[in-house]
């Protein structure tokens, strides 16, 4: 049989307090102090138990009992905090006395794989921006969702033009009752060409890097989402020679050496004449691999002189103004530079890939 519950009295509190303070002062290290703290103040601690006994105290005595208990609890907490500080100080002092302790050792490094790193696409974009800024180009940014007009019509690709089939497009659904221009995920950064002509008075030079989208199946060299850098120069007199010079400057800066290029005719409705500037595959050195589709060459830089119809859409008189444009395949350039054999690594989000590009 359980003994009848005794009515606790304030003397019990005094006794416990005296006992607790003595025990606290007697602790020899922080771990022992922590254990004692739980025994006194924890959910089943001695002080807590006394508090639970309150219900057995005669109602008239409760205020005095409660006040005393609160006081005692505060005293115990204070004594623990003081003892803890003393013990910690002693521990640190002892550490400093230890002859093998070397205060000049570096702190442990955080786990290296957790360090942030710039994505290779970001790094190469930054580099390209630097090169073109040095040549007097503005850096512009245009939306990834754009109109059918900016993506196609403005670029001399009307609705019925077969060239629309060159780029399979993600169209945005029209909401019921929605009118106005059809919208799409831009298939190329060329959407910025007419926008730039309308926004700036020529002569000007600009680049606009960004993400573009094509509705197509993926393989080692195709992704539905990839990156381009568009370049556009408009002046009274400019030529293919200016274009080729700028491209060579860019490529030798990026690869930090001369790279072999070739220029061949290429058809794009918004340039005339139009070219494909290819570079020797830097992954296989020209022997043939999955990136260059076993040809030894990689299409990297479609370009050409701006078509008169595009100048007109931009509000410029083709008799007065000339221009050239390029649409650098940034994803491919990054693959060439870092010898990445599959474009799907770039946006795959696999940390084992991304962490290889840490600086240093
Ligand atoms: N926008 C074209 C493409 O993505 C490339 C291009 C840009 C061609 C500028 C010529 C001039 O295919």
State the pLDDT confidence band at 160, using cuts at 50, 70 and 90: confident
CA of 326 to the centre of ligand 1 (A): 6
Atom of ligand 1 nearest to the CA of 187: 4
166 burial (CB, 10 Å; 0-12 / 13-18 / 19+) is: middle
CA of 177 to the centre of ligand 1 (A): 34
Tens-digit pLDDT profile for residues 247-294: 988 888 888 888 888 899 999 999 999 999 998 887 788 898 887 889
Ligand 1 cavity residues, CB under 6 Å: 188, 190, 268, 271, 274, 302-304, 325-327
Query: Looking at ligand 1, which residue's alpha carbon is closest to its atom 7?
Result: 327
Residue 7 has pLDDT above 80, yes or no: no
Among 121-130, 164-173, 177-186, 310-319, the minimum mean pLDDT is found in: 164-173
Tens-digit pLDDT profile for residues 57-111: 888 888 988 999 999 999 999 999 999 999 999 998 988 888 888 888 888 777 6
Q: Do residues 240 and 324 lie in contact, with contact meaning Cβ atoms separated by under 8 Å?
A: yes
Residue 354 has pLDDT above 50, yes or no: yes
Query: Looking at ligand 1, which residue's alpha carbon is closest to its atom 3?
Result: 188
Dig out the tokens for 239 from the structure: 């030529």
CA of 7 to the centre of ligand 1 (A): 91
The pTM for the full model equals: 0.68
| Residue-level pLDDT at 150 | 97
Give the Cα separation of 73 and 42 in Å (integer).
Answer: 12
Q: For a ligand 1 pocket test, name from 157, 167, 188 the mutation site with the most ligand atoms within 8 angstroms of its C-beta.
A: 188
CA of 220 to the centre of ligand 1 (A): 21
Residue whose structure tokens are 């260059």: 292
**Alpha helices in the chain, H assignment, sequence order:** 10-26, 30-41, 46-52, 62-97, 120-134, 148-151, 192-199, 240-255, 308-313, 330-338, 351-354
Give the Cα separation of 187 and 191 in Å (integer).
Answer: 8
Q: For a ligand 1 pocket test, name from 270, 276, 277, 328 the mutation site with the most ligand atoms within 8 angstroms of its C-beta.
A: 270
| Residue-level pLDDT at 204 | 97
């Amino acid at each position: 049989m359980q003994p009848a519950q005794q009515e606790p009295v304030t003397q019990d509190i005094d006794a416990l307090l005296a006992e607790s303070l003595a025990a606290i002062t007697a602790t020899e290290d922080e771990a022992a102090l922590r254990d004692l703290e739980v025994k006194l103040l924890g959910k089943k601690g001695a002080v807590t138990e006394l508090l639970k006994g309150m219900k057995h105290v005669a109602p008239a005595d409760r205020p005095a009992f409660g006040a005393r208990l609160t006081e005692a609890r505060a005293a115990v907490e204070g004594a623990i905090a003081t003892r803890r500080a003393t013990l910690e100080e002693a521990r640190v002092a002892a550490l400093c006395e230890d002859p093998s302790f070397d205060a000049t050792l570096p702190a442990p490094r955080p786990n290296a794989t957790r360090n942030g790193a710039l994505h290779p696409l970001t790094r190469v974009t930054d580099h390209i921006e630097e090169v073109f800024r040095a040549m007097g180009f503005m850096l512009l940014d245009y939306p990834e969702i754009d109109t059918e007009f900016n993506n196609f019509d403005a670029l001399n690709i009307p609705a019925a033009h077969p060239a629309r089939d060159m780029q399979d497009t993600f169209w945005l659904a029209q909401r019921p009752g929605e009118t106005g221009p059809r919208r799409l995920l831009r298939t190329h950064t060329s959407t910025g060409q007419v926008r730039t002509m309308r926004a700036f008075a020529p002569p000007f030079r600009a680049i606009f890097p960004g993400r573009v989208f094509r509705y197509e199946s993926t393989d080692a060299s195709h992704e539905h989402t990839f990156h381009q850098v568009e370049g556009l120069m408009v002046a009274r007199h400019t030529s293919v020679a200016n274009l080729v010079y700028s491209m060579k400057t860019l490529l030798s800066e990026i690869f930090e050496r001369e790279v072999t290029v070739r220029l061949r005719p290429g058809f794009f409705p918004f340039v005339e004449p139009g070219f494909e500037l290819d570079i020797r595959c830097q992954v296989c050195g020209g022997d043939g691999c999955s990136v260059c589709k076993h040809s030894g060459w990689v299409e990297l830089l479609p370009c050409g002189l701006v078509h008169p119809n595009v100048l007109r859409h931009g509000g410029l008189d083709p008799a007065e103004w000339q221009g050239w444009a390029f649409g650098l395949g940034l994803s491919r350039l990054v693959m060439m530079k870092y010898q990445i054999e599959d474009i799907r690594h770039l946006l795959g989000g696999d940390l084992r890939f991304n962490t290889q590009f840490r600086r240093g």
